[in-house]
Amino acid sequence: MSSVTANTGPAALASDPRVLLSNSPMSLFQWAAVLTTFAMSALDGFDVLAVTLVAPSLLHQWHVNPAALGLVFSVGLVGMAFGSFIVAPLGDVAGRRTLARIALAVMTVGMFLSARANGIAVLALYRLITGVGIGAVVAIINPLAAEYANIRRRELAIGLMAVGFPLGGVLGGLSAAYLLTHGGWRAVFVVGGVFGLVLVAASMVLLPEPIAFLVERRGPKALAHVNRFLRRCGHPSVQSLPPRAEVKAAIRPFEIFHASQLRATVHLSAILFLFVITVYFFLSWIPLMVAAAGFTPSVAARVAVMANLSGVVGGSLIGWAAGHVPLKPLSFTAVLGLGLGAILFGYSGGHLLALTLTAALAGFFAHSGMVSMHSLIARTFPSHMRASGAGFALGVGRVGSALAPALAGYLFNTGMSRGQVSVVMGGSAVLSALLMLSFHVHGRALVANPSTSEDLGAVAPAV
């Protein structure tokens, strides 16, 4: 059991800027920071789906087979796994804001380079670079959104950030539908790069280092930065930083594999792995499957737009419903709905209306399920091991996301039909839903020790 040597009594907590922000109404500056993470998530969604939206054009122009394109999709997702596992943890040393800006710049460079690719191997390399930036950004903006918000609005802030991903897919699809006709596939990547440049500039002004990081890391100008943050939120400055909580016997990164936690860790990771396989098969292959049914790349992009637009609705609804309905049945419905929706899409024939409606149905459940998975992680791991637990579970999910497009490409290359491949890949989400039936979901996020710095905001009532 960890012990905290710093004073965490009422007087100390009252002067702690972390507690002040956690229990005060949200300022415009905080909302602007949260909306910046939302925009970064939208760029992630645009980037991840950009190569799938241009895939039908590449198939025609470069005369490559589906298996080769599946590998390009997967290489980008491998880069995301690397960025999440290896690069994102550096934020604890260099600062989350600093690393978020660097990762955003890497994404932007990768998009511009992708626009200049002259072959499938070169494009795969550039997608790897882009993926590293995306993986790091995705891992960082989730805690950033939470740390900018007060207790009362924390779940809303995380929900807004998460909904940015499918909205980015909508914007990517709308722009691709126009650009593929008027500017060619390279223009899609150029637009993404320009969007990235705008966000890099915006992050310099609107993306501050969270106060919790400043207080814990104690840099030479930490007090000045904390007071600047407080003033921009409309709060008075503090004379000194609160005592640092010195935790002994502290961080045990492998505690998620302790006998008391191992079953939940493995169970949740398996649920996430199987679910993500269906998600990334569906999101990666929508444009190609629609184009293979006889439609133009711009029409295929519009179908992808509908899938992501319905995902915005689904993600928003489940974020709201989680406060009123038990999380387990919500998550089960979303995961099972994705599996069945993906299978229905595979057997929807060559009618555009049927393709669009089934794509929208599967997209609704795909993105609502992704939002629910973040909540499941928070309710599975106690606060003192949540970073390790989330990192491991999401890392396992990254493996599934990288595997899915390549596996689907291999199955298509063997001569399997759209319906047959959809049964195999959609069946993965059905298995995930069945595993969820025996998974125990806690009623709320777990807190290991409310006196630790991570949970300081929880000791005082929210307003």
Q: Where are the domains of the chain?
A: 6-246, 251-446
Give the CATH superfamily of 6-246: MFS general substrate transporter like domains (1.20.1250.20)
> Which pTM does this prediction carry?
0.74
**Alpha-carbon gap, residue 385 to 236, rounded angstroms:** 33
| Alpha-carbon dihedral sign for residues 118, 120, 125, 128 | positive
> 251-446: same fold as 6-246?
yes
Contact between residue 323 and residue 340 where contact means Cβ atoms under 8 Å apart: no
What CATH number is given for 251-446 in this structure?
A: 1.20.1250.20
Q: Is 349 left (phi over 0), alpha (psi -120 to 50) or beta?
A: left
- Provide the pLDDT for residue 179: 83
- Provide the pLDDT for residue 320: 76
- Provide the pLDDT for residue 201: 93
Low-confidence residues of the chain: pLDDT under 70: 1-15, 88-89, 91-93, 155, 244-254, 323, 383-388, 390-391, 443-463
- Provide the pLDDT for residue 6: 43
